[in-house]
Amino acid sequence: MEEQAKAAWSQVQNQYQRRAELIPNLVETVRGFAKQEREVLTQVIEARAKATQIQVTPGQLTDPEALRKFQEAQAQLSGALGRLIAVSENYPDLKSNQNFLTLQSQLEGTENRISVARRDYIQAVQSYNTEVRTFPGRLWAVIYRAKPMASFTATDEQQRPPAVKF
């Protein structure tokens, strides 16, 4: 069960990496159309840099603080991407640009993949944590010094619906 949880975590990281690799292309596409929106573009670039610097290895999955920092960095990146997509609504030429549409679609798909990977990780951690906290798994946990793993939690900011203005 521990190995399943670690494998699920690897998939979470894989999807976050996919998103990080798509962002420079999206930023460059938007930059060509929205030169005056430098602040939003800068926020996305900075959030991406921070998100890619904070890594959680399988050995750190029992450290809730490490997972919280990772989660916060990813949430900042998600927020910055949301602002970037919202800014793009002001540029009709950009909205019809095939590169932008493709990248936006890729990002939407990636966000869905991240959600699925996080769900799978949460389920794997739940199974593992239940095993190490109940009999007879508790006996093995004591022998092998197994600790419960940390899981994702939604912050208050993530639970608020985004503001939509027309």
Task: Supply the pLDDT for residue 25.
Answer: 85
State the DSSP code for 62: T
Q: Which two tokens stand for residue 162?
A: 């985004």
pLDDT at 161 (0 to 100): 56
Residue-range domain boundaries for the chain: 2-159
Fold of 2-159: de novo design (two linked rop proteins) (1.20.1440)
pLDDT of residue 157: 66
Residues of the chain with pLDDT below 50 are 164-166
According to the model, what pLDDT value does residue 166 have?
A: 33
**Which of these, 40, 14, 13, lies nearest to 27 by C-alpha position?**
40
Report pLDDT for 152: 81
**pLDDT on residue 18:** 92
- What per-residue string of b and e applies to 61-100 under the rule 16 or more CB within 10 Å gives b? beeeebbeebbbbbbbbebbbebbbebbeebeebeebeeb
Q: Which of the 8 DSSP states describes residue 37?
A: G
Token digits of residue 149: 């793993």
pLDDT at 83: 84
